[in-house]
Amino acid sequence: MKLENRIALVTGGSSGIGRASSLLFAKEGAKVIVVDLNEDGGKETVRMLMESGGIGAFCKADISKIEDCRRMIEFSEQEFGGLHVLFNNAGIMHSDDGDSVSTREDVWDLTMNINAKGVFLGCKFGIPLIRKSGGGSVINTASFVAHLGAATPQIAYTASKGAVLAMSRELAVIHARENIRVNALSPGPLRTELLMKFLNTEEKKQRRLVHIPMGRFGEAEEMAKAALFLASDDSSYMTGNEFLVDGGITSAYVTPE
């Protein structure tokens, strides 16, 4: 098993990439702390992984709040004795996120607080515990939109994911000699509740799909397998990198038919 005897914390674990990764990490031997503001969904993820023979626990936290992030890391140490894998995955895609003219300041602030500040706070408290535990892997969820202008405007989301990329690179350099690796996972468009709520009409879905060479949305389980690679020793010589898993969308210019 790729994560045997390791402790992993996954934010946004109640659904989507977070749930799929929590289940896969547990299957591969990790003890998993599932973190989410959605208590019912997070506890359901823990129930699912334990029914499959895994070990896990739920911690309710709002990752945009410093005390909640401090507490989730303390919970990891108290519950399982350390931390080896920190998957800063939680994020939002606000339905009112548009261009710079139409997007309200509160939408911008909320998006940046969760998507960028939440990653910073996770690392602020998580990295010292990973160091104390002998080293490990930090995975921060970015997005393909940090590279491309989105066909459907989402200025706050795009900016927040650009911040995650830059932050991941700098943290990787800072901690490279401490047996702590930091990489960003950049998913392409996924068939998850998060994106489907944003692309809430068939027209919006098609405007995104037409740009994907593979012609389909990705699945949360596919991102979980990529996260497992970054979490495990399979990627032991990889840090400061961005792992694009995007159906080819950033590699090709596709014109609408």
Catalytic (active-site) positions:
157
* Rounded CA separation 186/251 (Å): 13
Evaluate whether 96 touches 107 at the Cβ level (below 8 Å): yes
Q: What is the largest CA-CA distance in the chain?
A: 56
Q: What number of other Cβ atoms are within 10 A of residue 178's Cβ?
A: 11
CA nearest neighbour of 132 among 83, 88, 85, 171: 83
* Rounded CA separation 149/154 (Å): 9
Residues forming a β-bridge with 184: 140, 242
Distances (CA, A) of 248 to 8, 158, 163, 192, 207: 29, 18, 22, 18, 16
Distances (CA, A) of 113 to 120, 158, 184, 218: 10, 13, 18, 26
In degrees, to the nearest 5, what angle opens at C-alpha 224 toward C-alphas 52 and 241?
145
Which is it for the CA torsion 91, 93, 99, 102, positive or negative?
Answer: negative
CA nearest neighbour of 223 among 7, 16, 9, 2: 16
